[in-house]
Structure 1
Amino acid sequence: MTPTMQAAVLIAPGKFALREIARPEPGRGEALIRISRVGICGTDMHIFHGNYAAENLPMIPGHEFTGTIAALGADVDGLRIGEPVVVDMNIGCGTCFWCRRNEILNCPDMQQMGITMDGAFAEYISVPARLVIPAPADVAPEVLALTEPLACVVRCARKANITFGQSVVVLGAGPIGNLHVQLLRTIGAAPIIVADLSEERIEMALAAGADVGVTDPAKLKETVLAHTQGRGADVVIESVGLPALYEQACELIRKGGHVAAFGITGAGETLPLDILRTILQENSIKGSVAGMGQDMHDALTLLTHGRIDTTLFTGASYPLADIQRAFDSFADRPQDLKTQIVM
């Protein structure tokens, strides 16, 4: 008989179905991963609500995952059955111009686990072995499942060339905003200013290492100027995905400053841009959304050595059978910066 497994299939926007389906078998160059933990990402919520990748439904979402190797296909070296791993969810061809530059999202053949193809809200997943990263056995699975979201933040900081002593504004104090704050603190950015409408999340951001928190949008610009000697911020990270916030970000940077475009907007949404000012002030905007390649390795290293306080990210979990409830209640639990599905 063909082995089976439980999987949560998003059959339509807002509707999961728990199904018994065939368990994948690892092909040549692949590894079968027995999944232990999967984080719910903001992208997963966009997919759940039908705002992103709806053309790929029905589909098994989930891409922030960790597990152990259950089986190996032919021609796989350097991995062993039973060891804990994390997985880079971005699959490129591996040979094109963009893949060689670790810009895999631009690969013409790019696929993403849980977004353009079936992902990790299941008991098993078969993945290219070259994307599997062995993890230390003494790091808890709930911490390892944070590798992918932290890798996204690592890549954003890398693309923005953030370094010590730089002033940075983070727009949005949700899960990713909190990780931005913690990484910025590790890098040595100062001051770190965070803006969010939620008092509760601002308090979390301050506890995570932010220097200043702002909940009143009308006071944000004057606060930024007051803490940057009237210049404006070196870098502003938009971590929400609202065109109005992107427009505000451009007003908060200093001359020669940088906007890190991180939050995902709706398709086709645009940003009014003062082109002449951008040219004369040598301002810049650069997009970055997904961690890949070395970003994943660096994120795992940071987690392994305790550079990130993961306490606020590991308190909320649901079994796979309750995935519908986990998604339905997500917006009502702002105190839970991360929710994970446990296999």
Structure 2
Amino acid sequence: MMRAAVLVEPGRFEIEDRPIPKPGRGEALIKIARVGICGTDLHIFNGHYASDKLPLIPGHEFTGTIAAVGSDVVGLNVGSNAVVDMNIGCGHCYWCRRNEILNCPDMQQMGITMDGAFAEYMVVPARLVIPAPDDVPFDVLALTEPLACVVRAARKAQITFGQSVLVIGAGPIGNLHVQLLRTIGAAPIIVADISSDRVDMAVECGADIGVSDPAQLKQAVLDATDGRGVDVVIESVGHPGLYRTALSLIRKGGHLAAFGLTGPEEVLDLPILNTILQENSLKGSVAGMGQDMHDALTMLVHGRIQTEPFTSANYILDDIQLAFDTYPDRPADIKTQIVLAG
């Protein structure tokens, strides 16, 4: 038997004993070691997302050890550490062939549309398991999935060296955006958040300019870009008003990277004529998948990301309710992880 944290209704977890699943053909059994709490998990916890899937075992930012494999599985060794791509597509449709798994008609996501990793064991498709070095700590490996989301966003926005970028939001994902932009060579990197502590942390992690007063943001952007506006704005909060702010701060010919999730009913008013005449662009991105996961893992293995700010807040599975209940009161904890093993 194993223990699992089941979200039985919005705001309430129950720890249940369940049989340890057995891997079937083409599957692998992962002994879970660490699981990060994602903003999506908080939306699910608060009843704002995937409520029709409850009761559910959430959790998709995870790492662990390969405990067993089913038949017809090659290339995976029992006992090896691994991370897992949480996005499951059919593997053969138009969108899957283009690594656009979220658009697959049969797409499933671990911990969102099906049971996830807030459990001691989990069976996953073996083709989505990525072996990881044994000498990289589990708390670092658990950052692979969120970093992959950021990798994909930068890839979709085609950000390159010397481009000015504003990141709106200095939470865990906003911080990772800043760090990845630094490795790409974007400059200057501006970060904005109403939390001065998180802004300061983002500056320590690589931002050139930090702004915590919304009234000062526009002038800070203009001062840093010779009055043009930034090449790219990444909205990483998910607030319609901030999307409008983002549009007002890109330069002519600039790009808005839509990343922060809003409610399904929210609409952004787009100035069509200006968008056409100024050749502005917008592209959405939210989840890393396929090669994004491999690239993110490689960056973590080779120390391209400062991980210390993300690994200090840890809770055991028995305290998962406390971890979620207190999350809004712990803004200094840039990332919270649930520890199950290792």
TM-score band by shorter chain is over 0.9
How many residues align? The count is 340
What is the letter of the counterpart of residue 155 of structure 2? Answer: R
Of 149, 154, 157, the match for 1:152: 149
1:198 alignment partner in structure 2: 195
SS at match of 2:255: strand
Which ranges in structure 1 are unaligned for 5 or more consecutive residues?
none
2:247 aligned to which of 250, 258, 261: 250
* C-alpha deviation, 1:337, in angstroms: 0.6
**Distance of 1:246 and 1:27 partners within structure 2:** 45
Task: State how far apart, in whole Å, the 2-side matches of 1:27 and 1:132 are.
Answer: 15
1:268-287 paired onto structure 2 within 5 Å: 268-287=265-284
1:312 to 2:286 alignment: no
Specify the code of the residue in structure 2 equivalent to 1:161. Q
Q: Could you say which residue in structure 1 is the equivalent of 2:165?
A: 168
Is residue 62 of structure 1 aligned with residue 55 of structure 2? no
1:164-222 per-residue CA deviation (whole Å, 9 max, x = no partner) reads 00000000000100000000001000000011001111110110010111111121111
2:296 alignment partner, one of 280, 295, 299: 299
Q: Deviations over 1:247-282 (max 9, x none)?
A: 110000001100000000011100011011011111
Aligned twin of 1:135: 132
What is the CA–CA distance in structure 2 between the aligned matches of 1:146 and 1:70, rounded to whole Å? 21
Which SS does the other structure have where 1:122 is aligned? coil
Distance between the aligned counterparts of 2:76 and 2:115, measured in 1?
Answer: 23
Partner of 2:328: 331
Instruction: Give the match's secondary structure for 1:16.
Output: strand
The one-letter code sitting in structure 1 at the alignment partner of 2:128 is L
Give the aligned partner of residue 266 of structure 1: 263
Is 1:88 the counterpart of 2:85? The answer is yes
1:75 has 2:81 as partner:
no
1:15 to 12, 25, 49: 12
Instruction: State the Cα deviation string for residues 299-319 of structure 1 (Å, max 9, x = none).
Output: 000000000000000001010
Is 2:3 the partner of 1:6?
yes
Partners of 1:100 and 1:276 lie apart in 2 by: 35
Q: Which amino acid aligns with 1:40?
A: I
Q: In angstroms, what is the RMSD of aligned CA positions?
A: 0.5
The structure 1 segments of at least 4 consecutive aligned residues displaced by more than 4 Å after TM superposition are none
Encode CA deviations 1:214-256: one digit per residue, 9 max, x unaligned.
Answer: 1111211111011001110000000000000001100000011
Structure 1 CA distance, aligned partners of 2:113 and 2:277? Answer: 40
Aligned partner of residue 83 in structure 2, secondary structure: strand
> Take 1:228 and 1:27, find their aligned partners in 2: how far apart are those partners?
56
Q: Distance in 1 between matches of 2:266 and 2:315?
A: 34
Q: Does 1:341 align with 2:338?
A: yes
For residues 298 and 166 of structure 2, the distance between their equivalents in structure 1, rounded to whole angstroms, comes to 25
CA offset digits 1:289-342 (Å, max 9, x no partner): 000000000000000000000000000101001000000011111111110001
Matches within 5 A, 1:198-237: 198-237=195-234
Aligned to 2:98: 101
2:300 match: secondary structure: helix
2:50 equivalent to 1:53: yes
Give the partner amino acid of 2:301.
T
Structure 1 residue 114, shift from structure 2 partner: 0.1
Equivalences for residues 176-195 of structure 1 within 5 A: 176-195=173-192
Letter in 2 for 1:304: V
